[in-house]
Amino acid sequence: MSAVRYRITPIHPEAHLFEVELDIDKPAADGQLLSLPAWIPGSYMIREFARHIVRIDARDGVRAVPLTKLDKHTWRAAPCDGALRVRYEVYAWDLSVRAAHLDTTHGFFNGSSVFLMVHGCEQQPCEIDIRPPAGRAYKEWRVATTLPEAGGRSGAKRHGFGVYRAASYDELIDHPVEMGEFALYEFKACGVPHELVVTGRHDIDAARLCADLKRVCEWQIRLFGEPAPFERYVFLVMAVGDGYGGLEHRSSTALLCSRNDLPAPGAAAMSDAYRGFLGLCSHEYFHSWNVKRIKPAAFVPYDLRVENYTRLLWAFEGFTSYYDDLALVRSGVITQDDYLKLLGKTVTQVMRGSGRLKQSVADSSFDAWIKYYRQDENAPNAIVSYYAKGALVALALDLTLRSKSRGAVSLDDVMRRLWADHGLSGQGVPEDGIRRAAEAVSGMKLKRFFDEATEGTDDLPLDRLLHAVGLDLAFEAAGSTPVLGVKTANDGDNVKLTQVLDHGAAQRAGLSAGDVLVALDNLRITASSLDTLLKRRNAGDEVKIHAFRRDELMKFRVRLDAPPVDQAKIGPAVRASAAAKELLKQWLGRG
Ligand SMILES: [Zn+2]
């Protein structure tokens, strides 16, 4: 029996409360320190999960043991004789993949939200007894997790309540747990059992989804080389009305999606929403290698109390974003045309934010904690996404390697090298490690490429690189309606400015985020009329706009802009050499 044991029970699903009892056989002689992480790996923001601990007490046998709070997430239990039992309640009402969620329909938790770390025992194995809620209403509930079952008499059976185990605290918090009456679908990829667990009302063409996922998973396993780095993999999917999110773990992923993203029974075509969902699954699955095992040195080990800084998220998130859609086309799940549309969207997304001219992807990575994860109304003017631009850096690197080596070397070789040098060994990737791996596999000098692409803010030379593989990149305007240079949100019938883009018509006139638009040339602006009103004007026209700011009516003279030419289109080049066509086939062809 382990010296550290957790027992977690959904004691009041209707009040969203888990109870956790933590038994420590040999607490530290000078007082036992206990803490909850401030963040969860994969989501780079301080979230201070300890704020959801509602009450906590400790005993040794019959006697109460005083607990002293030392900082926002750490407690010290006073020295005691014998074993220590700490009992606490955790409020779980965060409908995301990052924390914990419990109601009368299901329970979900990440260990980082519910399991106190026992200082000094982080590297020791522990047991986790997962209990069902009391009452007949819950008798059909099951458990889905990749925590290993403990074995023995009290050990949980697959998908059952009972005792599970983890080899360390790091492992304990890397296997999220779902409980409830979920749907379970199974398939094998390269012989490895995979499960798809879907919570929430849904109707789904499960056979199609499993068949598509199988192809994507097998392509990824073969990219890095068999065997897969896990014995079993679980996709935990929470289907809701409107939601989106994913978080990677070592042998599972937690996903949040709209139920309409899932393929409907009988639907023949692939919807954009379903393609997006497959992209999300592919993204999190790729993380099983890239970030869960090939990790930045800054994450080895994680320090869960404070921010962990690295300038490399463009490689761990950006390269993963590049491969998520690439895996779909190369496994044959989507067509090459569809892939080029998705790639065009990523280029458009990057081009639409002037933040790309101010922040490098390396800076964006470093400041993820205070910028990318805490975006405000100024985000497009100040921040570049290390996901989207990072994917373009991957594209630029891949095409550079392929064209310069005439097809002999690609980013796939870089990923396999990283896997061999850092994934299998567990040795973190130093801050210059991506460049070094790319130089090692290609024999090319790439310092200038990396400096410009990851530390610089100039646009990447994608038109030239795409041309080398027989593709043309062109930009066009999205329609002909003149624009204000804003993002808006509808608040009932009112139109509110949510973002005002740098140097745009609205910003030049003095309009600000938060302003509620009232009228354009004395005609009322509503959610449905704004576009019509703008359509009747031309770029260059000056219009009068009334808006409320702090409930004060204000008037602005706005000179309308032409729609920006920022929508990327990627398609076959009119004239492409045979060599370029061959490179394209190698890049996007099946296999
Ligand atoms: Zn990711």
Percent of the chain with pLDDT over 70: 100
Ligand 1 centroid from CA 313, angstroms: 9
Ligand 1 centroid from CA 43, angstroms: 9
Parallel/antiparallel/unpaired status of strands 233-240 and 192-199: parallel
Provide the 8-state DSSP code for 367: T
pLDDT value of position 2: 75
- Bridge partners of residue 199, in order along the sequence: 238
- Alpha helix stretches (DSSP H) within 159-250: 169-172, 206-224
Ligand 1 centroid from CA 493, angstroms: 36
Look up residue 151 and give its two tokens.
Answer: 């074995």
Look up residue 415 and give its two tokens.
Answer: 């990923």
274: left (phi over 0), alpha (psi -120 to 50) or beta: alpha
Look up residue 180 and give its two tokens.
Answer: 């409830």
Q: What is the mean pLDDT of the chain?
A: 97
Ligand 1 centroid from CA 324, angstroms: 9
**Alpha-carbon gap, residue 233 to 213, rounded angstroms:** 12
Look up residue 92 and give its two tokens.
Answer: 């779980």
pLDDT value of position 254: 98
pLDDT band at 590 (very low <50, low <70, confident <90, very high): confident
CA-angle at 245, arms to 200 and 145, nearest 5°: 60
Q: Which residues 6+ apart lie within 8 Å of 580 measured at CB?
A: 467, 468, 469, 470, 573
Ligand 1 centroid from CA 572, angstroms: 30
pLDDT value of position 18: 98
pLDDT band at 284 (very low <50, low <70, confident <90, very high): very high
Ligand 1 centroid from CA 451, angstroms: 23
Looking only at Cα atoms, what is the longest distance across the chain? 83
Ligand 1 centroid from CA 471, angstroms: 28
Has residue 434 got a pLDDT over 80? yes
Parallel/antiparallel/unpaired status of strands 63-64 and 4-12: unpaired
Ligand 1 centroid from CA 284, angstroms: 6
pLDDT value of position 61: 85
Ligand 1 centroid from CA 277, angstroms: 14
Ligand 1 centroid from CA 545, angstroms: 41
Percent of the chain with pLDDT over 90: 97
Ligand 1 centroid from CA 365, angstroms: 13
Ligand 1 centroid from CA 338, angstroms: 21
Q: Looking at the chain, how many residues does it have?
A: 591
**For the stretch 526-558, what's the b/e string if a residue is b when 16 or more beta carbons lie within 10 angstroms of its beta carbon?**
bbebbeebbeebeeeeebebbbeeeeeeeebeb
pLDDT value of position 568: 98
pLDDT band at 489 (very low <50, low <70, confident <90, very high): very high
Ligand 1 centroid from CA 247, angstroms: 7
CA distances from 81 to 34, 117, 452 (A): 17, 20, 61
Ligand 1 centroid from CA 571, angstroms: 27
**For the stretch 321-339, what's the b/e string if a residue is b when 16 or more beta carbons lie within 10 angstroms of its beta carbon?**
bbbbbbbbbbbebbebebb
- Bridge partners of residue 12, in order along the sequence: 17
Ligand 1 centroid from CA 465, angstroms: 25
pLDDT band at 262 (very low <50, low <70, confident <90, very high): very high
**Alpha-carbon gap, residue 20 to 58, rounded angstroms:** 12
Has residue 456 got a pLDDT over 90? yes
Parallel/antiparallel/unpaired status of strands 552-559 and 542-549: antiparallel
Contact criterion met (CB below 8 Å) for 377 and 498: yes
pLDDT value of position 45: 97
**Alpha-carbon gap, residue 95 to 97, rounded angstroms:** 7
Ligand 1 centroid from CA 328, angstroms: 16
Contact criterion met (CB below 8 Å) for 300 and 170: no
Ligand 1 centroid from CA 244, angstroms: 13
**Alpha-carbon gap, residue 453 to 359, rounded angstroms:** 11
Look up residue 531 and give its two tokens.
Answer: 């576009």
Q: Which amino acid is at 358?
A: K
**Radius of gyration for the alpha carbons in the chain, expressed in angstroms and rounded:** 26
**Alpha-carbon gap, residue 184 to 181, rounded angstroms:** 9
Contact criterion met (CB below 8 Å) for 8 and 107: no
Q: For 118, list phi and psi in degrees, rounded to 5.
A: -95, 105
Q: Which amino acid is at 562?
A: A
Ligand 1 centroid from CA 394, angstroms: 14
Ligand 1 centroid from CA 287, angstroms: 7
CA 177 to chain CA centroid, Å, is: 18
Q: Which of 562, 567, 561 is nearest to 478 (CA)?
A: 567
Ligand 1 centroid from CA 119, angstroms: 29
Has residue 591 got a pLDDT over 70? no
pLDDT value of position 230: 98
- Tell me: cis bond preceding 227? Omega within 30 of 0 counts: yes
Ligand 1 centroid from CA 92, angstroms: 24
**Alpha-carbon gap, residue 317 to 365, rounded angstroms:** 9
Look up residue 466 and give its two tokens.
Answer: 């795409």
Has residue 584 got a pLDDT over 80? yes
Provide the 8-state DSSP code for 331: T
**Alpha-carbon gap, residue 567 to 347, rounded angstroms:** 8
pLDDT in tens, 106-145: 999 999 999 999 999 999 999 999 999 999 999 999 999 9
Helices (H) and strands (E) in the chain, counts: 17, 28
Ligand 1 centroid from CA 371, angstroms: 16
- Bridge partners of residue 235, in order along the sequence: 196, 253
Ligand 1 centroid from CA 332, angstroms: 22
pLDDT band at 93 (very low <50, low <70, confident <90, very high): very high
Average pLDDT over residues 278-287: 98
Ligand 1 centroid from CA 301, angstroms: 19
pLDDT in tens, 190-215: 999 999 999 999 999 999 999 999 99
Q: Which amino acid is at 291?
A: V
Q: Which of 356, 380, 345 is nearest to 506 (CA)?
A: 380
pLDDT value of position 437: 98
CA distances from 112 to 106, 235, 325 (A): 19, 19, 30
SS3 content of the chain, % helix, strand, coil (to 5): 30, 30, 40
Ligand 1 centroid from CA 51, angstroms: 26
**Alpha-carbon gap, residue 95 to 106, rounded angstroms:** 11
266: left (phi over 0), alpha (psi -120 to 50) or beta: left
pLDDT value of position 365: 98
Ligand 1 centroid from CA 248, angstroms: 7
Ligand 1 centroid from CA 318, angstroms: 8
pLDDT in tens, 323-351: 999 999 999 999 999 999 999 999 999 99
pLDDT value of position 1: 66
Average pLDDT over residues 408-432: 98
- Tell me: cis bond preceding 296? Omega within 30 of 0 counts: no
Ligand 1 centroid from CA 253, angstroms: 11
Contact criterion met (CB below 8 Å) for 514 and 536: no
Ligand 1 centroid from CA 252, angstroms: 13
Look up residue 363 and give its two tokens.
Answer: 């800076």
